[in-house]
Amino acid sequence: MNGPMRTDPATPPRTSPLHSALATLSSQWVTINQMRVATSIGFPAEERANLRAVALADLSHLKRCGLKGPGAEAWLKATGVEPPLGINQWAPLGECSLIARLASSEFLIEDNVGQDYADRVRSQLGRGVVGVTPVLRQDAEIALAGPHINELLLQICSVNFAALDIALRPIVMTSMMGVSVLVIPGAWRGAPFYKMWCDGTYAVYVWEHLLQIAEELGGGAVGLAALFPDMSPEHQQ
């Protein structure tokens, strides 16, 4: 993961849908993509222990762009973005960015910090593209990391994520606690690592339920630096 970006004073700050939940914890913060993000929560030893069980972190700061329409796939290819072939599959873009196909003609692009696929696509769509409609994406995003992820999810979802072949890069659309979610199961640095998106208005509700189960399994919340230890101190604000 590349280093976080400082806020441009001319750009209004954004607030994570999970900020109120994280603000009650003992957190240190950075600003990434004009959003305050918890870089550490509690003591480092506690975060390491959480990662050995199941840990939750806020990834809502990552930039996203949605689009759909009969011309969406052809237009993406013309701009140099190659979508995945299958519905409910994702494909990598550059270093850790991704494009997901959510339906036959609907797509989601999410950038790793320091990349600009989503911004470039959004900018071009803003000028109008025949057969392509922008889709507003203001999701909350929760990262789940650790060997007991599936034990947590089995308590709130009927999908057995452990049975999925992550080599096929699947996307799971399902419901958890009555809330629609998108989940990408995968791995990061050799450990299980899932990304979950949900409507921001339900973010705290989903987070609190996940956190309660995580704590019962010996885990808990972590900051971004616990997942990505290469985040450098000079970016802290």
- Boundary residue ending a domain (108, 135, 162): 135
Residues (pLDDT < 50) of the chain are: 1-9, 232-237
- Boundary residue ending a domain (135, 166, 187): 135
- Among candidate residues 126, 123, 125, 80, the one with its CA nearest the CA of residue 99: 80
If asked whether residues 33 and 143 sit together in one domain, one would say yes
- Boundary residue ending a domain (112, 135, 158): 135
96 within domain boundaries: yes
1 within domain boundaries: no
If asked whether residues 146 and 229 sit together in one domain, one would say yes
Query: 199: domain range?
Result: 19-60+139-235
The answer to whether 124 and 79 are in contact (CB under 8 A) is: yes
7 within domain boundaries: no
Residue 50 CB coordination number (10 Å): 25
Q: What is the 3-state secondary structure (H, E, C) of 155-212?
A: CCCCCCHHHCCHHHCECEEEEECCEEEEEEEEEECCEEEEEEEECHHHHHHHHHHHHH
If asked whether residues 189 and 220 sit together in one domain, one would say yes
Could you tell me the pTM of the whole model? 0.89
| pLDDT at position 229 | 81
200 within domain boundaries: yes
If asked whether residues 151 and 198 sit together in one domain, one would say yes
- For tokens 């025949």, the residue is 130
| pLDDT at position 3 | 37
Listing DSSP states for 78-145 in one string gives HTT----SSTTEEEEETTTEEEEEEETTEEEEEPPTT--HHHHHHHHHHT-BTTBEEE----EEEEEE
State the CATH number of the domain containing residue 82: 3.30.70.1400
If asked whether residues 128 and 152 sit together in one domain, one would say no
| pLDDT at position 114 | 83
| pLDDT at position 147 | 95
